[in-house]
Chain A
Amino acid sequence: LLIVDDRLLLEVLSGTQSPSLERFVLAAAAGELCTTGSWYWRLGRALSRPGRGALTRVFADLSEPEQARVRAALNDLPPGIGLLSLRTLVPIMRTLPGQLNLLTAEAIAAGLVLDATIAVTTPSELLATSAAEVGVDVETVELTA
């Protein structure tokens, strides 16, 4: 399984087709793709209150049908994308070593429960080192056009 960050979630939800996204779309179709509540919320929040961030810019560059698809999916996340609740994850999150923020703890706990790789578009030293400490793989994805 794969756990994707907000940027990758945006790309998958939009239906954008590019070689770097192919395996994520296929994973979603196969029931092997998840995200976290923090990333889902961060994406939804960014697109509800557009600013100058990367998510807003990527969304603005999408075609109208792609934007509509993303909006619909943010209102009702497709069943092809798994999302573990905090009820499920907090018992794991509270036991993780180190000083972690919510976003990082949620992602690592989901990685442990799902035995999944965390795929991100922006490297995070905290995520990488903390995940490695408990045996969760983190992959940084380079998006191509």
Chain B
Amino acid sequence: VAISTDEMQALIERARARAAAAGELPVRGGLVQWDLPESVKTAMRQDLETGAYLEAAREATSGDPEMVQQ
């Protein structure tokens, strides 16, 4: 028997809460220690709290020949 949309949404919300509580969600900066170009690593460290650093990282990467040409 198919469940209702409301029931499915409730299951999804519960799963989201469980995933967050269990530490199953990805963590920002989890790859910073890897061999990325310095410009990208620098950008990643910026403004971790606001999330703006991702945009900065994209900008940095777009100008980095190591990232765009290899």
CB within 8 Å of B: which residues of A? 1, 15, 17-19, 22, 25-26, 28-34, 65, 69, 78-85, 87-89, 91-92, 95, 97, 109, 112-114
Contact = CB atoms under 8 A, between A and B. Distances in A.
B67 A17 contact: yes
Nearest to A30: B54
A31 B36 CA distance: 16
A25 B15 contact: no
Contacts of B40: 26, 29
B43 to A, nearest CB: 9
B34 A69 contact: yes
Interface of B: 2-3, 7-8, 11-12, 14-16, 18-19, 22, 24-32, 34-36, 40, 44, 51, 53-54, 57-58, 61, 66-70
Given A19-B68, A26-B54, A31-B25, A80 B14 contact: no
Contacts of A97: 2
A113 B18 CA distance: 10
